[in-house]
Amino acid sequence: MSGPAAGTARAADATTDVVCLGESMVTFLPSQPGRLADVPSFGRGIGGAESNVACALAAAGHRAVWVGRVGADGFGDHLVETIGGYGVDTSAVRRDPDRPTGIYFRTATDRGAGAHEVAYYRAGSAASAMSPANVPYEEVFAGRVLHLSGITAALSADCLELLRELTAPRPGRPLVSFDVNHRPHLWRGGGASVLLELARRCDLVFVGEDEAEEAWGIVGAEAIRAALPEPSVVVVKRGSAGATVFSRLGPGPRSSNAGGAGNGPASPSTEGGGTVGAPASRSADGGGAEGAPDTVTPVPALHVDVVAAVGAGDAFAAGFLSATLRGLPVRDRVRHGHLMAAAVLTVPGDLTEPPTRDHADRLVALDDEAWERLRLGPGWTAADRAPEEVRTS
C-alpha cells in the first residue's frame, strides 16, 4: 500500500494511543556470563526498540499498536504471539514469504562495556524490506503518537525513505516521537547526519548525551538542544546524572501535550480520550514555536541495583510517553521514565511487568529529597508498597 495521497495523514484514532513502527527480532540470551564462544546455551526472548516501547506501554494500560514486518517462519510467529501477549495490537504486522525474521545473540554484559558482544543475523530480513510502498499508512497514522527510532533508518535504503516519509510535516500528523538510538555498526557511513536530519523533523526526541557526542561530536545537554532547535521537546538522557528536558509550547490549538512546562500545570490531559496533536511548528502551515524560550527541567536518576543493562532506554521512552499521554508535568514524565527503566534494569531481559500505575504515581509524587534516596532492586515492581516503605540508600 502506498503512502497517503496529497501529503495528508489520517486523523488520529481515538482507540489508539501510540503506534510504534520498527524491526523486532528474536533474541537469544546467554545462560551465563562470558564470551559468546563460551556460553553453552541461550534462552529465547524478543528484542526491538519500537516493539519494546509498545509492549511496555500496553503493559502500563495504554492502547499500543506495533507496525512491523516479519518472516513467514516460526520466529515470526513467536514475535507476533509474544508481543501480542503483552496486549499490543499486532494486526498491522505484515508477513514476508521471501525474507526471514531477524535474530541476534548477545552476552550478558552492558552494551557499553568493552567485553560486550552482539551477533546479529538480520541482513536481508523481512523488516529491512519495509518501504513507503508496503507499509499501511492508515494504521501508522492512526494513533495520538507515532514512535520511531533511528535503528529503522539504518536497515536499508527503503527503510530510510520510509522514515523520511513518516517524519515529513503534513496536515493532521500525530505527534512524532523519535529515539535517536545511534548504532554505528548498522551504518555504512553517513548515519550521524541522517539521524540528525530525522531528529530535527520530529516533535519529541530522545537522545543520550553519550551517543550525541559519539555521533555528532556534540558535548553537553545545552549544545544538543542547540543542534536540535525544531522539536518541541528534547529529552537528553545523561546516564547516572539523570535526564534534562528542553520543552516549549507553540501557540494555538495544535500545541503538543509533549511540551508541558516545568512542574506547573500540564497541557490538557488526553487520558481517556482526545488527541496528542503535532506541535504547531511541525504543521503544514509553517507556524510554530521554534525560537520560543525553552523550559529546562533536569531530573536526577534513581539508584538501581542493576541486573542487566539492556532495554533501559526503550523503557524510559515508554514511561515518558505514558506520562505524556496522561498530560502530566514534565518532571513527572521524566520520573515515570526513570521508574520504567528501573523495572527493566532489575531483570535479565529487555521487557518486564512495570509497576502498577498507583505504585508509580506514589513514587513520582515523592519530594526531591525522598526521590534521591530511593534505591530499587530486583522485585521492587511487585512490592507495591507505600513510598515510605521503599528501600532507600
Q: Which residues are catalytic?
A: 314
Q: Are 298 and 247 in contact (CB under 8 A)?
A: no
The Cα diameter of the chain in Å comes to: 59
Helix (H, G, I), strand (E, B) or coil at 252: coil
Locate the DSSP E strands across 231-279: 233-237, 243-247
In total, the chain counts a number of residues equal to 393
> Which residue from 301, 324, 316, 299 is spatially nearest to 350, judged by alpha carbons?
316
Residue 202, SS3 per DSSP: coil
Grid cell of 322 as nine digits: 505514558
Locate 122 and state its grid cell: 538480520
Question: How many whole angstroms separate alpha carbon 104 and alpha carbon 378?
Answer: 26
Other CB atoms within a 10 A radius of the CB of residue 43 amount to 11
Rg of the chain over all Cα atoms, to the nearest angstrom: 20
Find out whether 194 and 181 touch, Cβ atoms under 8 Å. Answer: no
Report the alpha-carbon distance of residue 221 to residue 215 in Å, rounded: 14
